[in-house]
Amino acid sequence: MPAPLDSLKSTWKNYIANNAFSQLFSEMNAQLNKSSSAYNTFISIQSRHSDTFKSEMQNAISYADAQTAYGQTKKALLDLIDLLTPEDIAPNSTGSEDVLDALARALEVKIPLMPKHLVNCDRKPAVKSFRRSFGSWKEKARAFQFYFILACPTQEPEGFTERAIYEIMGDEEDQHQALFNYPRQENGRVRIERLPLGFTTKDSKEAFKKYFSNRFTLGNTSFEDYLRTGLPNLNWEYIATTLSITAQDWDAEVVVDYLQWLMDSFSTVETRTSNFLFFFVIPLKHAHEPDKIRRDDHETLKSIEQLVEKNTDCATLIAALPPVEAVEFEYWLEDLAEPSQAKKDEIIQTIAGRFSPEEKARFEDPNKDKPLNMEHIEDFQARVYKFHK
């Protein structure tokens, strides 16, 4: 078992890797020794990060300059964490278990947990939209379906994609394992892969063919021949392909023609085959806040909307997933463990204690219903799953 400081360093580095700065700063502020030089260095780094964030929100610096500053913050934090010694940790700090871990561990979970419980909080309108499209195309025997999931990274579009797959699989995962093929992580969860891209549309097509060949072991069979002769021999009922592309990488001159080719290539297959579900995950900052979307991202959004509108017979767009009302998170907790209201409030307030200043202002706004970004909810869901699976 790793020493407490080693565990703490590992946890904090993981926060950096996932851009969870609010959570990182909250824990470092609570657990570093206030009398150490390391704490003074931490305060300086936190201050610089806060200044960068405010400048970016006020459009006082360019996106590129902000990303450069964030990169410098990450390096400074990693360097600081590497140099920490036991004396840099507060005497009263356990240096091991996070408060949210303790709260998750203490829940008396009353139902068997499945992977869907990692991603199944709220999202009623989006889930309804997905079910409506899926059900309609199932009735029409539409074997090739394309879903574009576009949302701010804080709202976890990847998690919604994972949930959509679990929705189709149903509760009997073992029964459907042999009938549903999708990229899996080592722990069995859905793996979101990068959309194969090249410098040109032609390069991108070739990159996808290579990806497809590796996944389905085409060998010397060409992509085109496999669509005609190989697909009918697949035994799965459903085959999901989960690919992500950031709004920044969405070069309309390349990507639109590329994805249109991909949809056309599969949609024109005439032989009977498995049901192919393509999920294109597109993180776009502030997607649920139109007035905050960058000009370039607005153009990307319009490009995606036009592509989907051109292919409404096989494609649908699920976009702008908003933050989740705190009460919906309470319902999720009740379904699992029926905790007291005081315990639910404690969990939510602990999560809220790690918000950025902007998140905190929205959460405390009496005109709003205490919105929680999905990234915080999925973080707590993962903690519950870890202790109670």
Instruction: Determine the pLDDT at residue 1.
Output: 31
State the Cα–Cα distance between residues 13 and 379, nearest whole angstrom.
Answer: 16
pTM to 2 decimals?
Answer: 0.75
- The fold of 124-319 is Rossmann fold (3.40.50)
Region of residue 370 (left: phi > 0; alpha: psi -120 to 50; beta: else): left
What's the pLDDT tens digit per position in 156-211?
999 999 999 998 887 545 555 668 899 988 888 899 999 999 999 999 999 999 99
Return the structure tokens found at 214: 């590796």
The whole-number pLDDT of residue 93 equals: 59
Report the alpha-carbon distance of residue 30 to residue 24 in Å, rounded.
Answer: 10
Give the number of other CB atoms < 10 A from CB of residue 35: 12
With beta carbons less than 8 A apart as the criterion, state whether 75 and 17 touch: no
Please state, for a pLDDT cut of 70, what percent of the chain lies above it: 95
| Contact between 135 and 265 (Cβ < 8 Å) | no
Predicted pLDDT at 348: 93
SS3 (DSSP) at 317: strand
Residue 86, exposed/middle/buried by CB under 10 A (0-12, 13-18, 19+)?
Answer: exposed
What is the residue-level pLDDT of the chain in tens, covering all 389 positions? 344 677 788 878 888 887 888 878 888 888 898 889 999 999 999 999 988 888 877 778 888 888 899 999 999 999 999 999 988 888 765 554 678 888 898 999 999 999 999 999 999 999 999 999 999 999 999 999 999 999 999 999 999 999 999 988 875 455 556 688 999 888 888 999 999 999 999 999 999 999 999 999 998 999 999 998 889 888 889 999 999 999 999 999 999 999 999 999 998 888 888 999 999 999 999 999 999 999 999 999 999 999 999 999 999 999 989 999 999 999 999 999 999 999 999 999 989 888 888 898 999 998 888 999 999 999 999 999 999 98
**Residue intervals in the chain for CATH 3.40.50:** 124-319
**Residue 186 pLDDT:** 81
- pLDDT attached to residue 173: 53
Spatial neighbors of 148 by CB under 8 A, at least 6 apart, are 280, 282, 304, 307, 308, 315, 316, 317, 318, 319
**Percent residues over pLDDT 90 in the chain:** 64
